[in-house]
Amino acid sequence: MNAQPTELLRQTQELSDSVTTPILGSKKAYVDGSRPDLRVPMREIALSETPKMFGSAEPNAPFFVYDTSGPYTDPTANIDLAAGLAPLRASWIAERGDTERLTGLSSEFGRSRETNAKLDAVRFGHRPLPRRAKAGMNVSQMHYARRGIVTPEMEYIAIRENQRIEGIREAHLLRQHAGESFGAAIQKIITPEFVREEVARGRAIIPANINHPEIEPMIIGRNFLTKVNANIGNSAVSSGIAEEVEKLVWSIRWGADTVMDLSTGKNIHETREWILRNSPVPIGTVPIYQALEKVDGRAEELTWDIFRDTLIEQAEQGVDYFTIHAGVLLRYVPLTAKRVTGIVSRGGSILAKWCLAHHRENFLYTHFEEICEIMKAYDVSFSLGDGLRPGSIADANDAAQFGELETLGELTKIAWKHDVQTMIEGPGHVPMHLIKENMDKQLAVCGEAPFYTLGPLTTDIAPGYDHITSAIGAAMIGWFGTAMLCYVTPKEHLGLPNKHDVREGLMAYKIAAHAADLAKGHPGAQARDNALSKARFEFRWEDQFNLGLDPERAREYHDETMPKEAHKSAHFCSMCGPHFCSMKITQDVREYAETHGVAETAALEQGMAEKAAEFRAAGAQVYRPE
């Protein structure tokens, strides 16, 4: 990065303006909690009234949806990317009294970056000094939960998860199919106490590093809304800091619940700082990527000390969860030799290479309890990595993959012994009929710790469309119980996603997550479908667009065929044109059913039932041509 300070500042200043736009048809609303500094953001979608032709004209109440987009979509927020977001949770963290602000960075690497004048041009300018747990203290949300404490984070999450469905008065919006949750403990209303219980028993995590006070707390667990993660990050061959920050804001605009910074290119440390300070969602990383950069890509030169320093460096920046590939055991590695695509996880192959080079057990496994000590001092959550996940349909559900999963189950129990929040990463490439086995096995061996899966991709044959091959698997595994779905973009296997790919990937995954919530029977999940379908049926075009996952795209597509403003209130569409309309006929049916009344309708049904009986008796004869 040879940009002058002014160059990056200029870029981020420009970005500060361009990323600050409300979502079409929505405004930011806040729901107040029990304390003045607990205000939970939602997106409020104003709806127009039902036209008279559908009975009496009646207003439709505004609809509230979960909002991941942070202050960027709040026109009253003062966004300056170079200054970062306001530290929403700062007082919550401070008042717990179990942390202290350090006088300097604890990691060697962090300190070396601080004092390197060459980095002035790319360094984020407003870095606070980090906090750490006081000696002997454990500051994880799990630790609080297990001691019976309902934190402000937990209350925030309860309000957020409910999406104000308790405020919905229209019975037709609350109609919902009974779901099939495969044994999940789905609640009608999420209470702060339920959040606490789920975190205490390890069935959910709240990724919330004490050094990332900017986050709007969220939860990952199968008894909550299914979440979506977006991966961003540069590589050796592409992309600068401003671009990554833009991808972050773009990700949350389109619904990312968490974002992973997978940078492997230049200035990883500085890029991460920019991302963290501007992120209202939890940020995950794969620390081994950066550790590898520190040994110039030579996996065999990795050491526990280098890795440990990296963990502390990142924990003090505020990373909320770490992917740790501690389940890649030496004995599993040869099991991948006959695979079609071997080891495709970057982290997995780094560790495999290290294990083979030294003929020793994975140092993340042997140092696992030391890692736990670091995690609990900052409340970093584990995302136990699936370094041996299948990279092709052929390799799905094999001995290497499931061997590792069992080890991750053992490690989960160790993490829980330390009250360290833990989720488990999952595959990969899996044909549809083998997906459920993954979920069932994960639930069984990992004690219901949240599952966090990449896809899975249900076929290998569509490079360029792997957001779709994988959205199919993601929707299914989400239904079966996966708590968070890691998106895949159309560029998967081909290149790094740009911001447009990020949007495509997120849309596919928001669909998968919501389809999963519907199938599980998550309370209130269907309300948005009902509201949108009612708008569609009533030709409230603007409402249909605005209730959708991507109001801009929907409007754009509609306007391609019928661009005129008047068409937005037209009671027809380009599919059938103005002369005939299915929706309109349904209105006739309703009027018919009403005019003829319940008695006649019942009689009609009765009469026809007799006719059908007659038909069955006579065989097909009744159908003789007239």
Binding mask 371-390 for a copy of itself (x = CB under 8 A): --x-----------------
- Of residues 469, 209, 150, 41, the one with CA closest to residue 487: 469
Stretch that binds a copy of itself, among 67-75, 186-194, 241-249, 523-531 (CB under 8 A): 523-531
CB of 140 to a copy of itself, least distance (A): 17
**Orientation angle between helical segments 241-253 and 499-520, nearest 10 degrees:** 30
- Determine if 560 is a binding residue for a copy of itself (CB under 8 A): yes
- The continuous run of DSSP H or E covering 29 comes out as strand 26-32
- The continuous run of DSSP H or E covering 205 comes out as strand 204-205
| Among 42, 476, 477, 486, contact with a copy of itself (rule: CB under 8 A) | 476
Q: What residue ranges in 438-477 does DSSP mark as E strands?
A: 451-454
- Of residues 308, 311, 345, 300, the one with CA closest to residue 325: 345
For residues 131 and 211, is the Cβ–Cβ distance under 8 A?
Answer: yes
| Among 377, 532, 539, 540, contact with a copy of itself (rule: CB under 8 A) | 532
- Determine if 626 is a binding residue for a copy of itself (CB under 8 A): yes
Strands 99-101, 63-66: pairing kind:
unpaired
| Among 36, 59, 97, 625, contact with a copy of itself (rule: CB under 8 A) | 625
List 486's β-bridge partners, or say none. 229, 454
**Residues, the chain, total?**
626
CB of 454 to a copy of itself, least distance (A): 13
- Determine if 549 is a binding residue for a copy of itself (CB under 8 A): yes
- Determine if 483 is a binding residue for a copy of itself (CB under 8 A): no
For residues 622 and 614, is the Cβ–Cβ distance under 8 A?
Answer: yes
What is the spatial distance between Cα 157 and Cα 33, in angstroms, rounded to a whole number?
10
Strands 258-261, 227-232: pairing kind:
parallel
- Determine if 30 is a binding residue for a copy of itself (CB under 8 A): no
Stretch that binds a copy of itself, among 21-29, 71-79, 130-138, 410-418 (CB under 8 A): 410-418
CB of 356 to a copy of itself, least distance (A): 5
In the bound state with a copy of itself, the residue whose beta carbon lies nearer, of 205 and 372, is 372
CB of 1 to a copy of itself, least distance (A): 16
Q: 144 labelled as ligand-binding? A: no
Binding mask 561-600 for a copy of itself (x = CB under 8 A): xx----------xxxxxxxx-xx-xxxxxx-xxx-x----
Which residues from 121-180 bind a copy of itself, rule CB under 8 A?
172, 175, 177, 179-180
- Determine if 303 is a binding residue for a copy of itself (CB under 8 A): no
Binding mask 243-282 for a copy of itself (x = CB under 8 A): ---------------------xx-----------------
What is the spatial distance between Cα 230 and Cα 489, in angstroms, rounded to a whole number?
9
Decide: helix, strand or coil at residue 424.
Answer: strand
In the bound state with a copy of itself, the residue whose beta carbon lies nearer, of 81 and 547, is 547
| Among 441, 499, 536, 571, contact with a copy of itself (rule: CB under 8 A) | 536
- Determine if 422 is a binding residue for a copy of itself (CB under 8 A): no
- Of residues 168, 146, 169, 141, the one with CA closest to residue 156: 141
- Determine if 43 is a binding residue for a copy of itself (CB under 8 A): no
Which two structure tokens, joined as six digits, stand for 261?
A: 């910074």
How many residues bind a copy of itself (CB under 8 A)? The answer is 146
Cα distance between the two ends of the chain: 83
Which residues from 488-507 bind a copy of itself, rule CB under 8 A?
490-491, 493-496, 498, 507
- Determine if 102 is a binding residue for a copy of itself (CB under 8 A): no
* C-alpha angle 483-485-489 in degrees, rounded to nearest 5: 175
CB of 486 to a copy of itself, least distance (A): 15
- Of residues 459, 370, 466, the one with CA closest to residue 418: 370
For residues 362 and 404, is the Cβ–Cβ distance under 8 A?
Answer: no
- Examine residue 577 and say whether the peptide bond preceding it is cis (omega within 30 degrees of 0): no
Q: Which residues are annotated as a binding site for Zn(2+)?
A: 429, 493
Where is the binding site for substrate, in residues? 231, 260, 289, 325, 345-347, 386-389, 425, 452
